[in-house]
Amino acid sequence: MAATYDHIATATASGNPMFLEVTSIPATYKDLEVIIMSKTGTSNGASSGKITFNGVTSSDYSWAMLGKNGTSMRTSIYNSQPDFDINYSHGPGPGTGSAMSGWVRLYVPDYASTTAHPVNWWCTSWDSTTAGELAYSAGLFEPSSAQAVTSMKWTCAYSIQNGCTMSVYGIKYV
Amino acid sequence: MLEYIASTGTPSGSFLEIDNIPDTYNSLMITGVMSVTGTTVADCYMFFNGDTASVYNTMYGGLRDSNSNSVYNFSNNEAHFGRGPTDSMNVGYVYAPVYLEIFAYRGDQPGNLGWYSLSSYVDQSSSSQNQFYSGWYSGNDAADLTRIQFITSQGSWDADTELHLYGRTTS
For the purposes of burial, counting CB atoms within 10 Å of the CB of A167, is it exposed (0-12), middle (13-18) or buried (19 or more)? Answer: buried
Q: Which of A166-170, B36-40, B66-70 has the lowest mean pLDDT?
A: B66-70
Predicted complex ipTM: 0.94
Smallest CA–CA distance, residue A152 to chain B, in Å, is 17
Look at residue B12 in the predicted model and tell me its pLDDT: 82
Smallest CA–CA distance, residue B75 to chain A, in Å, is 7
Q: With a cut of 80, say whether residue A2 has pLDDT above it.
A: no
Q: Which of A112-116, B17-21, B49-53, B148-152 has the lowest mean pLDDT?
A: A112-116
Cβ-Cβ contacts under 8 Å, B110 against chain A: 37, 39, 41, 101, 161-164
**C-beta atoms of A5 and B111 within 8 A:** no
Return the residue of A nearest to B57 by Cα: A129
**C-beta atoms of B136 and A98 within 8 A:** yes
Picking from B60, B138, B170, the nearest residue to A7 by CB comes out as B170
pLDDT digits (tens, 9 = 90+) for A156-166: 999 999 999 99
Mean pLDDT of A17-27: 98
Return the residue of B nearest to A70 by Cα: B73
Cβ-Cβ contacts under 8 Å, B136 against chain A: 98, 100, 126
Establish if B139 touches chain A: CB-CB under 8 angstroms.
no
pLDDT digits (tens, 9 = 90+) for A92-118: 999 898 999 999 999 999 999 998 999
CA distance B44 to B105: 20
Among B55, B59, B68, B140, the strongest candidate for a mutation testing the A interface, having the largest count of A CBs within 10 A, is: B59
**Percent above pLDDT 90 for chain A:** 89
Picking from A39, A132, A161, the nearest residue to B134 by CB comes out as A132
How would residue A1 be classed by pLDDT, with cut points 50, 70 and 90?
low
Closest Cα to residue B97, out of B160, B11, B28? B160
Exposure of A32 in the CB half-sphere (CA atoms within 13 A):
30
- Under an 8 Å CB criterion, which residues of A touch B? 1-2, 5-7, 10, 35, 37, 39, 41, 67-68, 71-73, 91, 98-103, 105, 122, 124-126, 129-132, 134-136, 161-165, 167, 169
Q: With a cut of 80, say whether residue B51 has pLDDT above it.
A: yes
Mean pLDDT of B86-90: 90
- The CA–CA distances, whole Å, from B170 to A151, A167, B3, B62, B80 equal 18, 7, 11, 33, 28
Between chain A and chain B, the number of residue pairs with CB atoms below 8 A apart is 125
Mean pLDDT of B59-80: 93
**Residue A104 identity (one-letter amino acid):** V
**C-beta atoms of B110 and A7 within 8 A:** no
Establish if B140 touches chain A: CB-CB under 8 angstroms.
no
Residue A121 near residue A106 (C-beta atoms within 8 A): yes
How would residue B1 be classed by pLDDT, with cut points 50, 70 and 90?
confident
Exposure of B97 in the CB half-sphere (CA atoms within 13 A):
7
Closest Cα to residue A150, out of A48, A59, A52? A52
Cβ-Cβ contacts under 8 Å, A127 against chain B: none
Establish if B142 touches chain A: CB-CB under 8 angstroms.
no
- The CA–CA distances, whole Å, from A50 to A38, A47, A61, A81, B10 equal 12, 10, 11, 11, 43
Q: With a cut of 70, say whether residue A71 has pLDDT above it.
A: yes
Look at residue A130 in the predicted model and tell me its pLDDT: 81
- Name, in order, each residue with C-beta under 8 angstroms of A29's C-beta and a sequence gap of 6 or more: A4, A6, A8, A111, A112, A170, A171, A172
Identify the residue with better confidence: A137 or B14: A137
